[in-house]
Amino acid sequence: MEIRSLGRGAPNVTCVGFGGMPISIAGRPGAAESVRVVLAALDAGVTLIDTADVYCLDDDDIGHNERLVARALKEWSGDSDSIVVATKGGLTRPGGRWESDARPEHLKRACEASLAALEVDTIDLYQLHAPDSAVPLEDSVGALADLHVEGKIRAMGLSNVSVDEIRRAAAIMPVTSVQNRLSPFFREALDDGVVEYTTLEDMGFLAYSPVGGGRLNRKLPDHPVVSVIAQSRGVSPHAVVLAWVLGRAPNVIVIPGARTEAHVLDSVASAEVELTDEEDRAIEAAEFSIA
């Protein structure tokens, strides 16, 4: 599988990572099956796992996905030191809702809890899950800078941010990577210049929901452009779309989620799909309705 830069000063990783959220939220499989899904990704050569403390059902379940990842890495027969685990802090799940809390004191407590859940002394990549409108961004990033000085995180990433927010954060601590939504359905990371900026600044760009997420990815098998390309290539529509997202810039890394081993292998297959210029332009020009 192609290897891409996760960002300045960070290890290189596979262009297709594994997004852990689907195996820990509503509709999740059992723990044993979830671990098998993670192991399938590792066995397929994936070297980046993206998780978060809030990939869970509610605040009583915080750290669920991180614990699954830790269990999978312990059970895996390969070299776990070769795997980069990225997690996040800055959200909470009261009553199953998604709410922001990027206060420094919360981020520091959350990082300690993530260290325990992942069973590590240092987190490879710790990401601010989202800016908090009630907290100055500089205060949130300052907390992550403190965690770095204390040796609890190796690198800092940001998620759900604008170019201006990246610049402000980078003035305090180097930003290794940015994780924003990117798919044919949602192209704001392209339109707002975030992908271009991260490319120029040698930051990795982690594309979450790269096939649209949930309801939208179920539209792909019937999409008039994607389905034709998939049929002609003998691959799934999802693999075609992941290949398109990977083609947006050389620093883009996709982190599709999966609830089954088959879905993991399908995502990994996208790394071998090279779209022609004509196919790429056809997807670029096509309509992807979110209705």
**Element of type H or E holding 87:** strand 84-89
Positions of E strands within 106-183: 123-128, 153-159, 175-181
Q: What pLDDT score was predicted for residue 105?
A: 98
Element (H, E) at 168: helix 163-170
Q: Please list the pLDDT of the chain residue by residue as tens digits (291 residues).
A: 999 999 988 999 999 999 999 999 999 999 999 999 999 999 999 999 999 999 999 999 999 999 999 999 999 999 999 999 999 999 999 999 999 999 999 999 999 999 999 999 999 999 999 999 999 999 999 999 999 999 999 999 999 999 999 999 999 999 999 999 999 999 999 999 999 999 999 999 999 999 998 889 999 999 999 999 999 999 999 999 999 999 999 999 999 999 999 999 999 999 999 999 999 999 999 999 998
pLDDT value of position 159: 98
Q: What is the pLDDT of residue 119?
A: 98
Half-sphere exposure of 247 (CA within 13 A, CB side): 20
- Is the pTM higher than 0.75? yes
Which of the 8 DSSP states describes residue 121? Answer: S
Hey, what CATH class is 3-213+249-267 in? alpha beta
Domain boundaries, the chain: 3-213+249-267
Contact assessment for residue 249 and residue 196, using Cβ atoms and an 8 Å cutoff: yes
Q: What is the pLDDT of residue 114?
A: 98
Q: Residue 88 class from Cβ within 10 Å (0-12 exposed, 13-18 middle, 19+ buried)?
A: buried
Catalytic positions are: 55
Q: How far apart are CA 204 and CA 188, in angstroms?
A: 17
